Amino acid sequence: MTGSTAGGLPAEPGSGTGSGAGNDRPTAADAVADAHRREWAFVLAATARVAGDLDLAEECVQDAYVSALQAWSDQGVPRNPGAWLTTAARRRAIDLLRRDTTLRRKLPLLVEPGGPETTGPGPEDPGGAEEGSGVIPDDRLRLIFTCCHPALAREAQVALTLRLVCGLSTAEIAQAFLVSEPTMAARVTRAKKKISAARIAYRVPESAELPDRLDAVLTVVHLLYTTGHTAPDGARLVRDDLVDRALGLARMLSLLMPDEAEVRGLLALLLLTDARRATRCAPDGRLLLLEEQDRSQWDRPAIGEGTALVREALRGGRPGRFALQAAIAAEHARAPAYRDTDWRQILLLYDLLGRAWTSPVVALNRAVALAMADGPEAGLAAIGDLERDGRLAGYQYLPAAKADLLRRLGRADEAAQAYRCALGLAANQPERDFLTRRLAEVTGG
Amino acid sequence: MAEYLILINEDESAYASASPDVLQEVMEAHNRFAKQVEETGGSIVSGRALQPTSTATSIRGDVVTDGPFAETKEALGGYYLVEARDLDQALEIAKLCPARFGGVEVRPIMVFDGM
């Protein structure tokens, strides 16, 4: 990765957020905002290696963005904003380390692999980022693997990824997950402290551990997406900011790890699911089911890209859980109308998915596909098994799916009971409205 | 390199009722563990087994009481102090550590400035 291409990597989350970057002469403020969205992970990852500490790296990167605002106003926006920011942030880190011996004595808190000489980042390390000459290493994978290390709790992994890889503020992350800012700040601080105190290495895992470690990273990105896709609470169904961040991360990973089938699978899954975003709600905010959605409004380019990725992801044999979920989403996307859906094929894919990933949620989705292929009774029997299993107790989509099958069988009283149960668990308003309408239907209200 | 303490927490009653064969197997597993650690590139600084919690005495302030600090099903039964490159290597070692009636916890040793 050379310095000149680093800045141009299309790792921006989502699109259409419309800064002035498309204009002939972007203002410095626009360019800084744009670089924040596109380059944050690259700049921070490269700076962390020099700083040897995540907090110090963050501080230096923030300083670099502040100084960019002034410098770019005076001298114009540089050709490669990412390289400019990285060089500035790394110089600042080297400066601070030179000046502050106490800081240096405590370092390195971030463990660098590869022998003792690299464990001493400091003045002797020029950073290798001098403009025009050097190559800035792309350390974004190191950064995201460190954020998603299994020794950190899942919620800490998510918070750190948003903070360090996406550059979100603690306040923004707190808002996204509906916790108070002090709570989120404490969560981030605790996680960073563990990284340094327990010496979680700043590196990409070796091939033996890669599958598990990659799965943790993909799970975090997927969790971000699903949290945005059906917001856990609140008035809106979708939280666009989180969805866009997740898509951006999936794209970044697929650029950086082009040979990993599951990375493609995840990107495909997100693209194919997100292609329906605009049609999931009626203009009045009412939830629209798959069968009610206007398929002509689905995002065809996203479906095309997602479908091609699914094919590639399935090619290498033994497909993983993300590739298989994407294949199911592709089946839905392929059907011209709901009644044309190939439920047999979907059922087959769910069987494969159940083998790759034993999860009661997969079993529930399979039960719904089974009901479509073989009739509601078959689906109900499978849901009955899941109820006895007990692992989905408290999962709103279990009684909701059961209610729908009972409704289709004309068993109104039992359906009403199941709808009430689902309503007791649902917190998202459009989903609550939908369940309330269905409950009124079956009770004749 | 850094030091980590591997705390072995196990169900004491399982040991109390274990057959001599099982206890022999456990001993052998610990002997094997010592060799396996070297193969990871880390090393054992020290390691000891503890007498059961029925022999423990707790002190809070100056009140001396019979028994462990907290009564739990799984109690600290032994430890290894190991040296490892980073947490990943420490976890690799900890995964090898025998604990057939429970599990282990890995804690980084705190390093103070100027030491």
pLDDT of residue A9: 38
Domain B2-108 falls in which CATH fold?
Alpha-Beta Plaits (3.30.70)
Chain B: residue whose CA lies nearest to A195: B87
Angle ∠(A267,A269,A270) on CA atoms, nearest 5: 65
Nearest C-alpha of chain B: how many angstroms from A50?
18
Please report the sign of the dihedral spanned by the C-alpha atoms of residue A68, residue A71, residue A72, residue A76.
Answer: negative
Q: Please judge whether B113 and A106 are an interchain contact, meaning their C-beta atoms are less than 8 angstroms apart.
A: yes
Q: What distance in Å separates the CA atoms of residue A274 and residue A98, rounded to the nearest whole number? A: 48
Closest to B2 (Cβ–Cβ): which among A151, A199, A205?
A: A199
Give chain B's contact residues with A (Cβ, < 8 Å).
2, 85-88, 90-91, 106, 108, 110, 113
CB contact, 8 Å: A205 with chain B? yes
Chain B CB within 8 Å of residue A186 CB = no
A193 touches chain B (CB under 8 A): no
Give residue for tokens 């990284």.
Answer: A195
Give CA separation, A90 vs A43, A293, A424, B10, in Å. 9, 50, 53, 48
- Look at residue A129 in the predicted model and tell me its pLDDT: 39
Are the CB atoms for B114 and B27 separated by under 8 Å?
A: no
SS3 of B19, please?
A: coil
Q: What is the pTM of this model?
A: 0.83
CB interface of A with B, residues 134-173, below 8 Å: 149, 151
- CB pair distance less than 8 Å for A199 and B91: no
A356: Cβ contacts below 8 Å, ≥ 6 apart: A318, A319, A320, A321, A324
Q: Do residue B113 and residue A197 have CB atoms under 8 angstroms apart?
A: no
pLDDT score at A16: 37
Chain A residue numbers touching B85 (CB-CB < 8 A)? 111, 113, 201
Selected for mutation to probe chain B from A103, A106, A199 (highest B CB count within 10 Å) is A199
Closest CB to B88 among A106, A197, A201 = A201
Nearest Cα residue to A255 out of A3, A8, A40, A4: A8
Backbone angles phi, psi at A130, to 5 degrees: -65, 135
State whether residue A105 sits within 8 Å of chain B by CB.
yes
Q: Which residues of A touch B2 (CB under 8 A)?
A: 199
Could you tell me which of A214, A218, A205, A223 has the C-alpha nearest to residue A142?
A205
Domain boundaries, chain A: 1-138, 140-253, 258-352
Alpha helices (runs of H) in A16-135, residue ranges in sequence order: 28-51, 54-75, 81-99, 101-106
What are the CA-CA distances from residue A244 to residues A214, A251, A328 (Å)? 21, 10, 22
Cα nearest neighbour of B105 on chain A: A151
Mutate to test the interface with A, among B4, B82, B85, B88 (most CBs of A within 10 A): B88
**What pLDDT shows up at residue A316?**
77
Contact present, A80 and A4 (Cβ < 8 Å)? yes
Q: Residue A428: beta bridge partners? A: A234
Residue of chain A nearest B92, judged by CA positions: A209
* Residues found in chain A: 445
A294 in contact with chain B, both atoms CB, cutoff 8 A: no
**Which residue of B lies nearest to A115 if distances are taken between CA atoms?**
B85
Answer yes or no: do A209 and B110 touch at CB < 8 A: no
Tens-level pLDDT at each residue, chain A (445 residues) = 333 333 333 333 333 334 444 445 678 999 999 999 999 999 999 999 888 889 999 999 999 999 999 999 999 999 999 999 999 999 999 999 888 776 665 545 566 654 333 333 333 333 433 334 467 789 999 999 999 999 999 999 999 999 999 999 999 898 888 889 999 999 999 999 999 889 999 999 998 889 999 999 999 999 999 888 876 666 666 778 889 999 999 999 999 999 999 999 999 999 999 999 999 988 888 889 999 999 999 999 999 999 999 999 998 778 999 999 999 999 999 999 999 999 999 999 999 999 999 999 999 999 999 999 999 999 999 999 999 998 898 899 999 999 999 999 999 999 999 999 999 998 888 899 999 999 999 998 6
| Cβ atoms < 10 Å from Cβ of A309 | 25
Residue ranges of domains in chain B: 2-108
Q: In chain B, what residues touch A201 (CB-CB under 8 Å)? A: 85-88
From chain B, pick out residues whose CB is under 8 angstroms from the CB of A114.
Answer: none
